[in-house]
Chains A and B, each alone.
Chain A
Amino acid sequence: MFKHLLAAAVLCGAVATSPASAQTSRIQVKGELVDTWCSVTGIMFAAGTAHHMCAVWCAVGGIPVSIKDEAGNYYMVLRIAEDDENASNPRFVKIMSHEVSVDGELVERDGTKYLFVTRVIDDQGVVNLTHEDNGIQPFGN
């Protein structure tokens, strides 16, 4: 019994400390796929239909893609299921601005939430209709 407890404690310790200073948990996230730079900085109106074209450009350009939930949390996507390419990945480009629900593994480190998506539960497409109030950002065309 003691041996089992000891082994479990060692395993737990290994999980908790590897990699250094990162915290890992399972999570379900629902939100919009955004280009992280524009959305966080607020330089342009970076949400929904008004910003869709810019979001596509940024994803092609290798700017990290995040899921932004209703509470304003950003989950930077580092993997979708077996697809571990996370820079300029055409799969990401094609679903920018979509509202998605995903299961995944959350790794928090140094102020950033990183998400390794294990399953896409739902993809509603683009549902955040912002263009009527904001036109096409950032250039108007």
Chain B
Amino acid sequence: MRKLLATAFAICSMSSTSHAAEAWGIEHEKLVEFSARVVDIACTLKNDCPPDCGGGKRLLGLMTEDGKLRTAVKASVDFAGAVNDLLPYCGKTIQVDGLLIENPAITMVMVQRMRERADQDWVKTEAFARNWEARNGKSDEWFRNDPLAKKVIAEDGVYGIKGLEPPKQ
């Protein structure tokens, strides 16, 4: 019995480390780990190619080894995409650990961790938070303190309609 438990524990340990990406229970999601080249999506589709993959102002994608373009939609930071994480690797091939969501309406990737080579440690995709704090200071909830978000919500209201306010608590 002890042998059986030890074997089961060993198998469970192996399976938990082989995929460190966190499942979110999203319909059509798959835990994935793959190699891909970081690309500017608009450049790839339309040959409209500013330098340095747009310098942070362009959505970035992952061109897999079998030629599939995957849009990197989300990083590990709340309400943030993966552009800040991927940008330093523009044109380079990296390894990605995360979720592939093949919804019939759209295919997209949540990049949870990445690294350049197999002999490196995985790095969590948190560059947006680091870069945001470097510009704006420390905050537990960057989104509530972002100057642009605050300005737009102050002007148009939380519902996006001027003058329409939530009931007072």
Contact = CB atoms under 8 A, between A and B. Distances in A.
A112 B42 contact: no
B73 A22 contact: no
Interface in B7-64: 24, 26-27, 41-42, 44-48, 50, 54, 56-60
Nearest to B142: A61
B88 interface: no
A112 to B, nearest CB: 5
B166 interface: yes
Nearest to A94: B152
A67 to B, nearest CB: 12
B24 A111 contact: no
Contact of B143 (A61, A125, A131): A61
Interface string A112-141: 111010000000011000010001100001
Most buried by A among B46, B57, B79: B79
Contacts of B46: 19, 78, 107, 116
Nearest to A136: B158
B149 A60 contact: yes
B105 A40 contact: yes
A54 B80 CA distance: 11
B112 interface: no
A109 B46 CA distance: 12
B79 A58 contact: yes
A97 interface: yes
Contact of B159 (A49, A84, A90): A49
A96 B56 CA distance: 20
Contacts of A98: 160
B152 A110 contact: no
Contacts of A87: 54, 56-60, 81, 83
A122 B80 CA distance: 28
Given A41-B26, A93-B148, A97-B160, A64 B59 contact: yes
A113 B106 CA distance: 7
A107 B45 CA distance: 7
Given A36-B73, A52-B160, A112 B67 contact: no
5 contacts: A41-B101, A42-B27, A60-B148, A61-B143, A126-B161
Interface of B: 24, 26-27, 41-42, 44-48, 50, 54, 56-60, 67-71, 73-74, 77, 79-84, 101-103, 105-108, 110, 128, 143, 146, 148-149, 152-153, 156, 158-161, 164, 166
Interface of A: 18-22, 36-37, 40-43, 49-50, 52-54, 56-58, 60-64, 66, 72-74, 76, 78-79, 84-90, 93-94, 96-98, 107, 109-114, 116, 125-126, 131, 135-136, 141
